[in-house]
Structure formats: C-alpha cells, structure tokens
C-alpha cells in the first residue's frame, strides 16, 4: 500500500530521514543552501502577511498556505542537516524541495512587483482604468501559477480509500492496525473504528466522534453526530481506519461522516467481501488482496511462536512441523493458534498427536472450515476452569473492546475464578486473562507496561465460542432467539444485544427463573430488570438507564456485581444499602454528585469505581472495611480526616487519588507520604501540588506500582531507590539528569518505567554504568 505513506502537506515525507539508511556523502554547503532558501522565503511570506497586500482578495489564504507548508519542509530539512550523510532518496527530496522553494519565491516576487507598481501622478483616468484591467488579468495568471505550485508540492490531495480484502483469519485487522500505528503521526486527526456484521450505526458514529477528538458530543440523532464529525474533519488531514465492513449499506452510512476535503486525507477499510472493497475504493483508491502466507513465511511465524526463533533447531520435529503447516493452509490465525499449543513442547509424540488430531477432525467433517477444527483443539486443550472463562467472552458483541478490569471482576462475581494460596482473587483472574492471550485465543489491546488493559475476540473465535456456549447452555442470547434458537433449559446467563436501540421487553418464551447474569447492550425497558431473584451480575453500561429503573433494586438480594457505567443515572437509591453481597459497584461515566451513607452497609464491597467529582460523605470511607480497590477518589480539603479514614482500611490494595491544584502543598505531602506507609500495593496519583523531595516512606515499603502524574517535579527523589518491591513507576519531572538516572537505576525490582519530562533531552538518556536497571524490561521517555 505505497500510496498510504503520502506526504504530510507540502513536503515532510516519511522517507525524508527517519527510516532510510544514510549512504551517500553530502556537502554542508548544499544543506545550508537548502535551509537558507527556506529561511529567506519564510521571512518574505511573513512580511507579505503583515503588510497591505492582505487586502487583496484571496491573497491571505494562499500565502498562509505556503508559509505553513514551508515551515514543515524547513523542519524536515533541519532534521536532514543533523545527519552526516544522506542517501540518494533523501538527497533527491531535499533538492526537489529547494527547487520548489525557488519557484515559489519567483512567483511571490512577481506578485510584489505587480502590486507595488506606481503610476505616474499625472496619468489620465483612461490609463488608470487600463492598468486595473491589466492587473486583474495578471492577478488571475499568478493565481493559476500558485495553484499549479500547490499541486506540484502536495501531490494527490483528494481523499483516498484503501481497501484490504481477504478471508477471516488472514490478518486484515492486524495489517490495518500496523499501518495506522506507523502513519498516524503524519496526520492531524486519526481514528480507528470497527463496524462488524450487525452494526449499531449510532454506536459506531459515537466511537468515531470520540476517536477523532470530539469531546463535547451529547447528540442522540445520527444526523447530528455525522454533521459534527464532518465539521470537525473538513479542514484537517485525517487518517481513519474502518475495520470489518460487511456490506455496502453500512459503508455508505459511516462514510457520510468522512468529509471529502482536499488535504490528502486517507481512509483504510477492511472487509471479507471483494465487491464491498471495490465499491469503497472506486473513486481513485486501491484494493489490496490479502493472500495466505507462503510456506516459508508460515514456517517463520510458526517457529517464532513455538520456539521464539525464526528457525527450527530440532531436526526430529522438521517433518511433522511441515505436515502441520500444510494443514494450516497459510492462515496466520491457524498457525498462531497451533504453535501456541505446541510452545515449549519438544517431544515428537506430542507433535504427532497434534497432527493426528487435526487429521481426524478433517476426516470426520471435511466440509467444515479448517479454522473451526483448529479452534476446537485449542478449546479442549484449556483447563476446565479456563474453558468457562473463555466461553464467558461470548456475551460480548462482535468487535467489542472488552475492558480487562471489568471482565475479571465479572468472572469473580460469577464464581469462575478459583482461590489460590498466596494470590489475591483478582491476581488469579489476571493470570487467566494473560493465559488466554498467550494461547492466542484473545487479542490484547491498549498494551501498556507490557500489560494489556483490554482485549478483543476475533470474529471467527467469537462464532466458535458462541456456538459452544449455546450448546452447553452457558449463555443465552436474545439475538439467537430472533433466529429461532430457543433453549428448552433454564437460562443461566441472558445477554441482550439491542443494536437498533429499541425498547426490549421481557421474553416470555424462556425459563428465566434461574438467571444469574443479565447483560444489556442498547436501550432497555427497566420494568423487568428486577424480576430475577437469583441475579448475581447486572451490567447495564451504556444502556440509557434512568433513576426510575432502580427503584426496586433491593429485590436483587444476592447481587454481586452492578455496573451503571455511562448511563443517565443521577443518584443512587437508598435501598442499595440492602445489597449485602455486592462486591463491585461501577458508576463511572455518570453524573452522580455524591455517594449515600447507606453504601457503608455494603459489608462485602471490595471494588468501587467513581468519577473524580463524586463526593464522599464524612465517615463513609472508614466504614468500607472490605474495600480492596478505589478509583478515583478526589480530595481538595480536610486531607487529615480522609487520611485517618484510609488508615482504617486494612484490605485496601489499589487506590487512585486526584489532588486538586488548589490543595495545600504541605498537606498533600503528608497525605501521600502516609499512603505510601500503608498496606497499598498500587498507588496512582494525578494532579498536584506535590513536593516529593521531603517524603520519607517506611522501610520496608511494600508499594509495587506507583504513578505520579499531572504535576512536574524538579527531580527524582532520592528515597525512591529504597522502594524494594516497586516493579512499575511513572513520573513527570522537569528534566532528567545523571543523578536522576542513577537513582532510578538503583530500584532493584523495577521492570516498567515511564518518564515524561518538561524540558527536552533529545529523546534519550545516558546510562554510564552497567550496574543499574537490573530488572528493567520496558522503558518509555
């Protein structure tokens, strides 16, 4: 897809010095000449913008355009100047930009001569009139010349659509995501959205609105959202990925929001349908047909996954490996799945059994897709406890971004996570999550510090586990009911995927007396929510739920998990204090101003998620004795009182705190120092003011994860090297110096380090010793 790597505005081409290897010597004089031409021209353009010429119609837009574009070109040329040698491509680019600058300067000079031409004071009216006619004609000619120069500098400036087409499991989304990640820095506005087989257009448009940077969108009407996105994109160079488009109609609706500007914007879409790809790229775009991997590439991918090497170093496995690869048919998803099953196994009989299992599956059902058989092998290879957690993922819609934290808490509430000695229940659930990633059964998303914050299930995998979940009466979907698949057994987990945002009524054809989980996607009719006496998990996120829908919540006597995230709820009912078994309460994304004191009656509440503006009544925190995790607690006054309350929470392990800027600095210092002295394992601090130099945390301090962001500190405090259990650290500081590096390097167990500096240090730090950073595996500056 070479056209995707187009120029950013006039000339800052990606190949101008970032990814090319220097090889051809180049003189300093040439470099200085190029930069000199740009500097002179920029100065001249700025002068034109400031003076009387701006009164002439159309001039300001043209000159502003050139000044902005040439500024980008000058920055690229300065970057080239830092290289000792230039390769032929870099040199050609530099020379082209220099010649273009000369052409623009000639054009501007012609314009200045024209408008500065002074006539003789005694000229007649007729002469002045003739001059004006000539001026108008020449203005038109120069305007055309400028347009020609603009076209010469930006290349193809129309919006283009690049379609990636291929069967499921070939890696279309992976390729699109790689292109997106590599090129997004060249565009002013970017976004990545998934459409899927049964799209909710409103949800997709809202996701696109958020992705492109619209933060104040509360529109319900699709047309309003489309108009808002179009207005936002109309004068920006944007890169948008539209993933997993199944039909032309869905594309037509989504593409209405993509303003067809002339800023060299690019759209990348993926689909399984060649006709859809052809339609989307019909106006000057291109279609990239993905093919199965060659045998050689298949083997490289297989070996990297199974042996962490590009080659097979076990001769006794050579033949069976080749035979397995033949059955995978060049399908990346199949290769990754099988190689994950064989990772770390070097006995030939194990490999032979795998080959036989694949062969038997094909022999029994030759019409079924290879991927289904391969997934079946992976599924039955899972331990039974992990198998149920895997099946649970079938409750989510196609292409849904599944938050890890929410998923694990729901597993726990469902009783799917076993107790293991020496491990917290959540940590066991996190091990399950990572195990599914390592087996390539779920795709990690938002990876930070080497850990995925969310995941997505490939649609082929989702189809498989959805069928399995239905067969085992593990999950009942109202989508399936619409297609005539009605379970004759008691429903255990009911999933309602209301893509059309219509009101959903209680189904009468199902036995709902033992429903333990109710998950809603879309708008609901709240009248039937509380007719499930055995309900343990109730997730109503993004469902349009209102205050009146919660009036009878006390009827859910054994509810363990309640999510009201991103709903229209403005207050919690007092009766919520009667939910004696509630373990998790999530009210993020709501406008609930204050928690009720009745929350203190929730003796089992371990996980509480609120917005930073949600107030806590005095005395409430200290009464939540079972609390293990609290996000996000905001304080601006009475820090001492809240600190005393936190000291009473012996089980609290994770705390996210926001300190407002108007807080007293010394109080904040004492507050945070005391938190570090507590039993906390994970502490996340945002805001300020914070002065870290004078903190003296206890020895030993058991803190494992520490994030201090939102406020720049002068340097890295000396005491931080004494945190013997710290594995993850994020800091904002003014500037990194040698002493800061030495302190950080002395943290013995530090594995993940992320630093943000206020003053530039050229994107690098210098480590002068080989003694520091003994455990570091991830670093970001």
Secondary structure percentages of the chain, helix, strand, coil, to 5: 45, 15, 40
pLDDT at 95: 73
Mean pLDDT of 118-140: 43
Rg of the chain (C-alpha set): 31
The whole-angstrom separation of Cα 240 and Cα 178 is 13
Q: For the segment 11-56, what is each residue's pLDDT rounded down to a tens digit?
A: 322 222 222 222 233 445 454 555 556 666 667 666 665 555 555 5
pLDDT at 377: 75
pLDDT at 450: 75
Going from the C-alpha of 165 to that of each of 2, 184, 298, 329, the distances in angstroms are 16, 21, 20, 18
- Strand order in 402-403's β-sheet? 402-403, 451-456, 443-448
pLDDT over 80 at 627, yes or no: yes
Helices 348-364 and 370-381 pack at an angle, to 10 degrees, of: 130
Mean pLDDT of 485-493: 72
Confidence band of 155 (pLDDT split at 50, 70, 90): low
Mean pLDDT of 638-650: 76
Residue length of the chain: 781
First vs last Cα of the chain: how many Å apart?
A: 31
The whole-angstrom separation of Cα 622 and Cα 532 is 33
CA contacts within 13 A on the Cβ side of 582: 27
CA contacts within 13 A on the Cβ side of 378: 29
User: 121 — phi, psi (to 5°)?
Assistant: -60, -25
Mean pLDDT of 518-547: 78
SS3 assignment, position 91? helix
| C-beta neighbour count of 645 within 10 angstroms | 17
pLDDT at 240: 95
The whole-angstrom separation of Cα 41 and Cα 104 is 8
Going from the C-alpha of 533 to that of each of 9, 174, 175, 433, 560, the distances in angstroms are 61, 44, 47, 30, 12
The whole-angstrom separation of Cα 572 and Cα 563 is 12
Structure tokens at 266: 């690019």
DSSP code for 548: G
The whole-angstrom separation of Cα 474 and Cα 515 is 11
Q: For the segment 237-275, what is each residue's pLDDT rounded down to a tens digit?
A: 899 999 989 888 889 888 899 988 888 899 999 998 888
SS3 assignment, position 146? helix
SS3 assignment, position 585? strand
Confidence band of 636 (pLDDT split at 50, 70, 90): low
CATH architecture designation of domain 151-289: 3-Layer(aba) Sandwich (3.40)
User: 222 — phi, psi (to 5°)?
Assistant: -60, -40
Could you give the percent of the chain with pLDDT greater than 70?
A: 73
DSSP bridge pairs for 654 = 629, 682
Mean pLDDT of 537-566: 87
Domain residue spans of the chain? 36-49+63-81+88-112+127-150, 151-289, 313-460
Mean pLDDT of 137-149: 50
Query: Nearest to residue 594, comparing CAs of 569, 572, 579, 561?
Result: 572
Structure tokens at 626: 């079972």
The residue with tokens 């009466």 is 473
The whole-angstrom separation of Cα 172 and Cα 150 is 35
pLDDT at 134: 45
pLDDT at 47: 64
């Amino acid at each position: 897809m070479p056209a995707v790597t187009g120029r950013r505005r006039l000339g800052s081409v990606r190949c101008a010095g970032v990814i090319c290897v220097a090889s051809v010597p180049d003189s300093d004089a040439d470099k200085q000449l190029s930069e000199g031409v740009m500097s002179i021209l920029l100065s001249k353009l700025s002068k034109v913008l400031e003076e009387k010429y701006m009164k002439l119609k159309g001039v300001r837009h043209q000159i502003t355009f050139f000044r902005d574009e040439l500024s980008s070109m000058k920055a690229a040329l300065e970057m080239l100047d830092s290289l000792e040698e230039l390769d032929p491509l870099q040199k050609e680019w530099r020379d082209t930009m220099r010649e273009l600058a000369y052409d623009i300067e000639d054009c501007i000079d012609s314009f200045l001569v024209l408008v500065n031409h002074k006539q003789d004071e005694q000229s007649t009216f007729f002469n002045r009139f003739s001059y004006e006619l000539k001026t108008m004609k020449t203005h038109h000619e120069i305007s055309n010349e400028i347009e020609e120069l603009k076209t010469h500098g930006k290349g193809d400036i129309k919006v283009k659509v690049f379609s990636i087409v291929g069967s499921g499991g070939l890696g279309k989304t992976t390729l699109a995501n790689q292109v997106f990640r590599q090129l997004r820095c060249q565009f002013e506005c970017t976004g990545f959205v998934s459409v899927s087989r049964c799209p909710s257009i409103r949800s997709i448009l809202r996701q696109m609105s958020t992705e492109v940077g619209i933060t104040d969108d509360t529109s319900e009407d699709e047309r309003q959202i489309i108009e808002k996105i179009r207005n936002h994109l109309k004068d920006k160079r944007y890169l948008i990925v539209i993933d997993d488009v199944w039909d032309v109609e869905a594309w037509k609706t989504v593409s209405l929001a993509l303003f067809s500007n002339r800023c060299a914007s690019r759209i990348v879409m993926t689909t399984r349908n060649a006709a859809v790809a052809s339609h989307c790229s019909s106006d000057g775009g291109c279609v990239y047909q993905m093919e199965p991997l060659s045998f050689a590439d298949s083997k490289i991918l297989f070996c990297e996954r199974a042996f962490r090497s590009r080659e097979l170093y076990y001769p006794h496995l050579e033949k069976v490996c080749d035979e397995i690869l033949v059955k995978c048919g060049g399908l990346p998803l199949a290769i990754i799945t099988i190689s994950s099953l064989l990772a770390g196994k070097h006995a030939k009989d194990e490999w032979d059994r795998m080959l036989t299992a694949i062969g038997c599956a094909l022999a029994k059902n030759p019409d079924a897709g290879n991927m289904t058989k391969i997934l079946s092998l992976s599924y039955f290879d899972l331990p039974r406890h992990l198998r149920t957690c895997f099946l649970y993922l079938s409750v989510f819609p196609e292409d849904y971004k599944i938050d890890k934290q929410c998923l694990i808490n729901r597993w726990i509430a469902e009783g799917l996570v076993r107790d293991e000695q020496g491990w917290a229940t959540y940590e066991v659930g996190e091990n399950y999550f990572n195990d599914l990633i390592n087996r390539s059964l779920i795709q990690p998303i938002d990876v930070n510090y080497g850990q995925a914050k969310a995941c997505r299930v490939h649609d082929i995998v989702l189809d498989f586990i959805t069928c399995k979940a239905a067969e085992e009466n593990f999950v009942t979907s109202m989508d399936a009911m619409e297609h005539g698949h009605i379970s004759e057994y008691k429903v255990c987990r009911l999933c309602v995927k209301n893509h059309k945002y219509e009101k959903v009524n209680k189904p009468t054809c199902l036995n709902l007396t033992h429903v333990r989980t109710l998950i809603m996607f879309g708008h609901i009719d709240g009248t039937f929510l509380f007719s499930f006496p055995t309900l343990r998990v109730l997730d109503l996120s993004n469902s349009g739920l209102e205050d009146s829908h919660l009036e009878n919540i006390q009827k859910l006597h054994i509810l363990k998990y309640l999510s009201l995230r991103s709903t229209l709820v403005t207050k919690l009912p007092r009766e919520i204090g009667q939910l004696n078994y509630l373990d998790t309460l999530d009210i993020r994304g709501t406008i609930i101003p204050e928690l009720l004191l009745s929350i203190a009656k929730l003796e089992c509440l371990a996980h509480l998620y609120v917005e930073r503006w949600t107030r806590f009544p005095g005395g409430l925190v200290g009464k939540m004795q079972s609390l293990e995790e609290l996000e996000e607690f905001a304080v601006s006054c009475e820090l001492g009182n809240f600190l005393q309350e936190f000291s009473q929470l012996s089980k609290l392990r994770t705390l996210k705190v926001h300190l407002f800027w108007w807080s007293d600095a010394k109080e904040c210092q004492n507050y945070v120092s005391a938190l570090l002295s507590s039993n906390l394992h994970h502490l996340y601090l945002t805001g300020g003011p914070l002065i870290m130099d004078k903190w003296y945390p206890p020895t030993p301090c058991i803190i494992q994860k520490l994030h201090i962001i939102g406020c720049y500190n002068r340097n890295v405090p000396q005491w931080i090297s004494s945190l013997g259990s710290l594995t993850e650290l994020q800091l904002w500081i003014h500037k990194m110096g040698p002493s800061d590096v030495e302190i950080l390097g002395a943290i013995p167990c530090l594995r993940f380090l992320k630093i943000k500096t206020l003053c530039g240090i050229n994107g690098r730090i210098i480590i002068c010793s080989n003694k520091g950073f003994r455990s570091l595996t991830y670093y970001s500056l």
